[in-house]
Amino acid sequence: MSSSFGHLFRIHTWGESHGGAVGVVIDGCPPRLPLDAADLQLELDRRRPGQSRLTTPRQEADRAEILSGTFEGRTLGTPICVLVRNEDARPEAYAEMREVYRPSHADFTYEAKYGIRNWQGGGRASARETIGRVAAGAVARKVLKHFGVGEIVGYVSQVHTVEAKLDPFGVTREQVEASLVRCPEEAASEAMIRRIDEARRNGDSLGGVVTCVAHGVPPGLGEPVFHKLEAELGAALLSLPASKGFEIGSGFAGTRMLGSEHNDAFVVEDGKVRTRTNRSGGVQGGISNGEPILVRAAFKPTATIRKEQDTVNRELERVKLEAQGRHDPCVLPRAVPMVEAMVALVLCDQLLLQRAIAP
């Protein structure tokens, strides 16, 4: 099973939803960077379950333990191993799924691939796997900051049919974190919360979109042809659980524009080449152009719901399933730090690759 990601800044996540622990091994982090568990905890607290009524009620502290790769508060340049223990696992709640395939979940496909699956919460298919990604993303942020890259800010821009209308480049983390659903537009945030509450009461779920902006990215990151920066970002965000779509810059909306409308005109500001608009989303020809990176990731509604659904079991018999267990009625609020982490991992990796060829 492929659980590794990255080229120079490389991570390997491990662990299952209801096993003893989950975590990540990070290889390629530069030495002598300040790093302790508190740096990771800040991001893990934003991802953890049970943080509000909009998320799964599973209660996990998600306390990060750094087992290797640091000494006296600084990175050594050697592999960093991070462990987070599972403390509120309840595998018995998933007993009915031992023989039954959940609609739109990975139960059937995992078994088709490996001939065996962990039915306790979905195993590696659970969003709990993303703990390792978020912890590694926190380390990547430290590297990016060290080399002068600005902040990465994600937010919920859509839940179901409720969409926030605002300038993504002006959104701050403080605005995002002030909202229960992590949407910085007050009216849209309140409407999203009402919609999620309704779905939760009805035993149903909702999907939506996370928008993310990376500020202060230097020009020159990414490779032409097969490892374009947008291709790396797309692969990263589409690898997240429940993700079903990716856009950069104008995305699909750009197909409804003329070239004369869509092109980003070049200008010179303070002796630097800039673009007057940013419909390219900060990437042209697969390489960053120095403008903020703008990406969007679409997430489907949570597959495991309490509503009765038609499905089949391992004996190929038709059955009804009304899933038990603890699940998010909408993954979007907790997906924000996951999206930010994957963007940070890609940019950190590409920055180190660029420094290797053009120090």
Q: How does pLDDT run across 7-23, given as a tens digit for each residue?
A: 999 999 999 888 889 99
Helix (H) or strand (E) holding 81: strand 80-85
What pLDDT is stored for residue 49 in this prediction?
74
Residue 238, token pair as written in the block: 């589409």
Determine the pLDDT at residue 51: 67
Residue 68 pLDDT level (bands cut at 50, 70, 90): very high
Calculate mean pLDDT across residues 321-340: 87
Over residues 285-310, the mean pLDDT reads 94
Domain ranges (residues) in the chain: 4-357
Residue 120: what pLDDT? 77
Of residues 304 and 54, more confidence is placed in 304
Residue 243 token pair: 């993700």
CATH no., domain 4-357: 3.60.150.10
User: In this predicted model, what pLDDT tens digit does every residue of 147-175 receive, in sequence order?
Assistant: 999 999 999 999 999 999 999 999 999 99
As a whole number, the mean pLDDT across the chain is 92
- What are the counts of helices (DSSP H) followed by strands (DSSP E) for the chain? 8, 18
**pLDDT of 1 strictly over 60:** no
* Residue 187: per-residue pLDDT: 97
Q: How far is CA 63 from CA 18, 23, 37, 66, 84, in A?
A: 16, 11, 8, 10, 6
Q: What is the pLDDT of residue 304?
A: 84
Query: And the tokens for 187?
Result: 């009216």
Residue 296 has a pLDDT of 98
Residue 287 pLDDT exceeds 90: yes
Radius of gyration from C-alpha coordinates of the chain: 21
Q: Convert the pLDDT of each residue in 207-243 to its tens digit.
A: 999 999 999 999 999 999 999 999 999 999 999 999 9
Q: Which pTM does this prediction carry?
A: 0.94
Higher-pLDDT residue of 122 and 188 is 188
pLDDT surpasses 70 at 137: yes
Sign of CA dihedral 283, 343, 230, 209: negative
Q: Is the pLDDT of residue 105 over 80?
A: yes
pLDDT of 110 above 70: yes
Please name the residue that has the structure tokens 């000494």.
Answer: 71
Whether pLDDT at 65 is above 70: yes
Residue 199 has pLDDT above 70, yes or no: yes
**Residue 173 has what pLDDT?**
96
- Res 87: pLDDT: 81
Residue 349's pLDDT is 98
What local confidence, expressed as pLDDT, does residue 117 receive?
A: 87
